[in-house]
Each structure stands twice: as structure tokens, then as C-alpha cells.
Chain A
């Protein structure tokens, strides 16, 4: 499209403003973690690294971090298995309920988290508690995996769609059996999509707060829950600032890896 020079400049300026709006709040969090004053008034009176030292020693934050990592690993593992299986089934076969299945996979992420959360909470309490399985890390993993499946599924199916079926046929013509063709041909081709999907699933689980609130029970605290419950306490405010700043810096890693591993991952986010 031939755009006039003023139009291009206007769009450029609008884009710059848009990017500024995206990034300014994140930088503000970083600056505020160095604010010696406990209040959030602007501008900060000076710079201090004291809160970073305090956060490093905070047992609550560390414990929550470990819980988040465990939940993320568990949910990612389950999502990788389930998402890959569904992607293969939907891409390679035509069967009754195929459309419905692809709809149900998207549903946990398309429905508001609070609905998923309350539903899982009700189910866990009525079905699992009589068996002595209380709300805790296990139920958090189940809850997270349910909506992480879709991320893996999307990455794998996007890769399968672009991968010609003839590769596998060729392998089989050359005498490879189903397993052999999978291990030597298909798997290497989908591996990077799996890594990308896994990274995104992990990041999604790591950040999730609503479903976690309803599936965690009183004794399990993930990092988002820890932040949320300490946000309102003035005494904890500086440590929360630092943890928030660390999360901003860390969030770059999974997205960087996912981008490098897979170009299908242009769709990010919850999908």
C-alpha cells in the first residue's frame, strides 16, 4: 500500500507512543525497587540496594519461588505429554468429535480463570478430599496443566501442519517401522516446537494466580500468591518491589528461548 509521507510518520509516532506505553510501567518497577522510601510517591528521593539484600534473605519469597518452580515443572511435563498426543491425533486422523476436541482444548484458556478455578476447586473438594488428597501442590499442578496443554498443542500442531507427511513415508519406504520413523524423522523435526511450547507453558504456569488461588489450599504458596498477599503490607513493600523487578528481568529468558527455538511461536500469550 502506497502510504503518504505524513501517514507513515503519524503511524510511526503512534507506534513509538504505543511501545512507550508498553515499557514505561516495567521500567518504573525496576526503578522503584531502588527507592529508599517505602511509599510509592514520585520521584524517588534517592537510590539504595538495601532492599535487594533484604529480598535475597527473605525466606518467604524463596520458599514461594521453589514452590512455583515445582508447580511449573510438573504442569509443563503433563502439558507436554497431553498436548503432543492431542496434536498428533488431530493432525493425523479424521474422527468423530475432532472439531469438538479442538474446541475443548482451547476452552480452559478462553474461559475466565475464575470459572476454571472455582470449577476445579469444587471438584477437588468433593471428589479428592474424601480420599484424603487435600488441596496442595498436586492440585495446583493439575489445574495449571489443564490450561498449559493448549500452548504445547498449538506449537506442535503448527509444526506438524508445515511438515510434509512425505518425510515419514520416505522413511518407511526405506524400511523404518512406525517407531523408528518417529524417533529418527518426526521427533527431531518437532523437537524445537516442543521446547518452545514447554517454555511458554512453564512461563504461563509460573505467572498464573487466579487458578492457583483456588487450587492451592492454605499451605501452598506460589510466587504470584506470595506477591499478592504481601502487596498490601507496608512492611513487606520493599521486598515485593525487588521480587517484582526480578520477575521483569527474568521474563525475558523464556520468551527469548521460545523465539529462538520456533518461528511458529509468533502467537504468544495464553495461546
Chain B
């Protein structure tokens, strides 16, 4: 049999045998390309960014001066503007996350436990589809709604009210809209996975639905909410496009980074470390709840 087999098949079989006997070799073949990519293209870039945060910019020529110093960080900590913007950004991110939880919960509860099982997959698609509508289109839609004389003003005018217009409130509103599906989905999945028997057991033991919710549903759901919050929080913290579209004069940390990039890259890099530090701390905290594996 082996005499008639073509040479190529023979080589392939020998190679397969070698690979089978040497799992380490298999592993290194699997990992070489992705590790090269991640380390060179991604981690390398991040390192370069953080290193440039310690450089400075010549105020006359706008050239980067590659001398190690903590000037940028001192500037960040000493100027009130930066602190205000950083605090405002964290505030916006937390507000968006909280509002998302409040809106997402009833929607997810309905799709996962109240709607008839036949409708559930359809409802999930109904949540997913707008998720894939373009970010810009969604922000743009809200520009139409919030514009002077736009839909919201028109709806509120019979009540003698005006819409919020463009500004901080509009920013929070639009970011909530943009990231809401990222919160609905994990909560839906979490709720769906709670076995009926657990809830029945709770009610057999005499718990009313409020008590069951507090003592059974919420603890199980916490990792899902934490997973959703990673996105709502992180995406809000770094956003600057939606802020440019509906934010009016509002400044968030993303806008500060963006506006400093061409003139003062080291300062922009130092500003960039702020959200990174906040989010890495957030991720590490959330990892304890097991949320990252349910992302």
C-alpha cells in the first residue's frame, strides 16, 4: 500500500505523525503568527504610545523632544481643566452604564422569560440588528431628533417644552442608545440560562417574586451585567465622535486626546493613559466576577 501512495501523501503523513508526537511543536506553530501580530502590531504600539507620554514637545517648533520627563503627567494633575474633563468623562460613562442597565433589564426580561419560546429567537435578532447598524448612522439619527425644530422639539411643543438640544444631556442620551444592545444581550443570555427549577424552588420555599428576584436572580445575573458594563463603560469613556456630533461644546477625554494629537502628541499620549488605567483596573475588578468569560 505504502509503495503505491504518492510521495506527497507520504510526507504529509510523516509530518502529521511528528506533530502528533510533539504537542509543543504543534502549539508553537499555532501561536507564532498570532503572537507576532499581537506583540508587534498591538502591544508594541501601546508601549510606544506610553513611552511617548514621557516625552515632551518643543513649544516653538512643535517637534517631539525625546527626553524622559514627567512633565505631561504633572500638567495633567495640576491643571483643573484636565481633572474636570476626566471626572466628567467617568461620570458620563457611569451614567450611561447605569441608564443602560435600567432600560436593558425589562427588555431582556421580556425577551428571555415572558415572551413565548417561539418568539424569543426573533426578538434576539430584533435586538441584534440595530447593533449592526452603523455607529455614525445612529448618532446621525439622533442629530435629526435633537436638532432645533427636529422630532423631539416637535413632539414636545404641544406641551410647551423644548428638547435638550445639543450638549451634555444629548451626549449621554446618544451614548446610551449606541451601547444599549451591548447591555441587553448579556442580560438576556444570563436570564435565559437560569433554570426554571431554581425559581420554582425559591417560590416553593415561600419567596415572593420580589424576594426571588433579590436573592436568586440578581446574584446569578451579576456577571452578565458586569460583562455588559465593560462595553458601555469603556466605549463611553473613549468616545469623541458622538460628542462631536451631538455634544455641542461638551468636552470629554476623547476630544482632548484628539485635539492634542497633531500639536502635542506626548500630551495626547499621557491623556490616553487615563482611560487605559481606568479600564484595565475595571477589567481586573470585573474579572473576579467571571464576567470576562461570558463576554
Contact = CB atoms under 8 A, between A and B. Distances in A.
B33 A85 contact: yes
B73 interface: no
B133 A42 contact: no
B119 to A, nearest CB: 11
A154 B186 CA distance: 14
A162 B46 CA distance: 34
Contact of A123 (B44, B135, B185): B44
A19 B186 contact: no
Interface in B92-138: 103-104, 106-107, 109-111, 113-114, 121, 124-138
Interface stretch (B9-17, B79-87, B164-172): B9-17
Interface majority SS (helix, strand, loop, mixed), chain A? helix
Interface residues of A, number: 91
Contact of A149 (B34, B110, B199, B237): B34
A1 to B, nearest CB: 4
Interface residues of B, number: 104
| Nearest 6 Cβ contacts at the A-B interface | A112-B238, A15-B110, A14-B106, A177-B16, A25-B141, A123-B45
Interface of B: 12-13, 15-17, 19-20, 23, 26-27, 30-31, 33-35, 37-38, 41-46, 48-49, 52, 103-104, 106-107, 109-111, 113-114, 121, 124-138, 140-145, 147-151, 153-154, 177, 180-182, 184-186, 188-189, 199, 202-203, 209, 212-213, 217, 230-231, 234-235, 237-241, 245, 254, 257-258, 261, 265, 268-269, 272, 275-276, 279, 283, 292, 295
Interface of A: 1-4, 7-8, 10-12, 14-15, 18-19, 21-23, 25-26, 28-29, 32, 39-43, 78, 81-82, 85-86, 88-89, 93, 95, 101, 103-108, 110-116, 118-123, 126, 142, 145-146, 149, 154, 177-180, 203, 206-207, 209-210, 214, 224, 227-228, 231, 240, 244, 247-248, 251-252, 254-256, 259, 266-271
